[in-house]
Amino acid sequence: MNYPHTHPSSTRSLLSGRPSSQDSTHSRSTPSDISPPHTVPDGQLSGAWYSTAELACLLRVDPSTLRRWRTAHPRQGPPYVPVTGRVVLYSARDVEAWLVERRVTPGAVS
């Protein structure tokens, strides 16, 4: 969501934690001892995130399949993050790792 008083590239730089080219043109200065909020050590926030509908499209399954996997006991499907009661996100890295774990190579010894 872009607000009328913010430039899209400056909004992106706030979310990514990286300075944009526009940031260097502003005369605002910040103390060097302030670190970015909520730093994630493994860089998860810098990767891609998928909604249920987006991931369902990529996996070629119905979104209800992902919902069913999340509510199954034991849980099935790729790891997910429940952001709110209605919003669930999937990390592209987690989805890729889940797919690699499920890969079947014909003729390979199990």
Give pLDDT tens digits for 68-84: 999 999 999 999 999 99
Q: Is 31 a residue whose pLDDT tops 90?
A: no
Structure-block tokens of residue 66: 């992902």
Domain edges within the chain: 44-102
Q: Determine the straight-line distance between the first and last CA of the chain, rounded to whole angstroms.
A: 48
What is the distance between the alpha carbons of residues 64 and 41, in angstroms, rounded to a whole number?
33
String of DSSP letters for 41-78: TT-GGGS-EEEHHHHHHHHTS-HHHHHHHHHSSS--SS
Q: Is the pTM of this model over 0.75?
A: no
